[in-house]
Structure 1
Amino acid sequence: MQNIEHIHHIAIICSDYERSKKFYTELLGLKIIREVYRKERNSYKLDLSLNGDYVIELFSFPAPPPRISRPEATGLRHLAFAVSDMEECIKSLEEKGLNAEPIRIDEFTGKRFTFIADPDDLPIEFYEL
């Protein structure tokens, strides 16, 4: 086995680059590391960080095909962010116009979590530590 240390990043292809850029930066608060326009692909690549750690590559491509997200389709199920206070998280989301699902309880850990959806309906989870 390789010496895997941690997840380096998650890559997301969006259907509307400006809308997704605003969602991940203005609404979720991720910071832009770099933004590159790749002329040969007619594509943007936006590198985003969370607390100084590189976490997401956001890509745009002309007319990407839709991906089934729900009901539980094969493939990446969701992206999860750890939070320290679920009520504060939900309040912050609501202040930004984002509606979280009702809080659920992880049956194995007893921890609380909730979901929202990004502009392309990718489930985004907030999991209380």
Structure 2
Amino acid sequence: MEIHGLHHVALPCADLERSRRFYREILGLTEIPRPALPVAGAWFQVGANQELHLVVGDAQATFRISKGLDTNDIHFALRVTSYRQALEALKAQGYREDMSPDDPMGIRTSMRVGYPQIYVLDPDRNVIEINAVGAD
């Protein structure tokens, strides 16, 4: 088997319109056409060849209902061109580093792996890492 790359990440969501707004307005992703499927959802373009798929979950979905921002938990990472611009954009939307890890508007930053990382939660408490090559 020869793997060419990661095609998409699929995440459960409870409120599709709320999640669409987060991924469009907070992260700036572009929504792309999605085939007619038996479950509601939305697809977003991430970079040139990757996608994010939101799937409306049911009672069987794996939601992180009460868990706070845990950087060691399951997450996906987005690479940005400017760490500083990403951090400033999130702060302009009301995200803050001094918030409790349980607060959905909290930001956690780190340099522990050798490049700068920002962690946030989406509306369904899915963990998202945003990173850059350097701290510019």
TM-score w.r.t. structure 2 length? 0.74
Q: May I ask how many residue pairs the two structures share in their alignment?
A: 121
Distance, in Å, in 1 between the alignment partners of 2:49 and 2:5 is: 11
Contact 1:49 1:56 in 2 (8 A): yes
State the TM-score, normalizing by the size of structure 1. 0.77
Matched, 1:88 2:92: no
Q: Residue 12 of structure 2 contacts residue 62 of structure 2 at CA under 8 Å; is this kept in 1?
A: no
Measured in 1, the distance between the counterparts of 2:108 and 2:43 equals 31
SS at match of 1:114: strand
Indicate yes or no: 2:99 matched with 1:97: no
**Aligned to 1:123, which of 110, 113, 127?**
127
1:64 CA displacement: 5.0
Tell me if 1:33 matches 2:32.
Answer: yes
In structure 1, list runs of 5 or more residues that go unmatched.
none
The root-mean-square deviation of aligned C-alpha atoms, in Å, is 2.5
Aligned partners of 1:117 and 1:124 also within 8 Å: yes
- Where relative contact order (Cα < 8 A, 6+ residues apart) is larger, the structure is 2
Please list every run of 5 or more consecutive structure 2 residues that lacks an aligned counterpart in the other structure.
Answer: 98-106
Match of 2:11 in 1: 12
What's the offset of the Cα at 1:63?
4.4
CA distance in 2, matches of 1:71, 1:86: 19
Query: SS at the partner of 2:124?
Result: coil
Q: 1:88 to 1:46 in 2, by over 3 A?
A: same
Deviation at 1:77, TM superposition (A): 1.0
Checking the alignment, whether the CA contact within 8 Å between 1:30 and 1:50 is kept in structure 2 is yes
2:42 equivalent in structure 1: 46
Task: State the shift of 1:84 in Å.
Answer: 2.5
Query: What is the identity, as a one-letter code, of the residue corresponding to 2:112?
Result: D
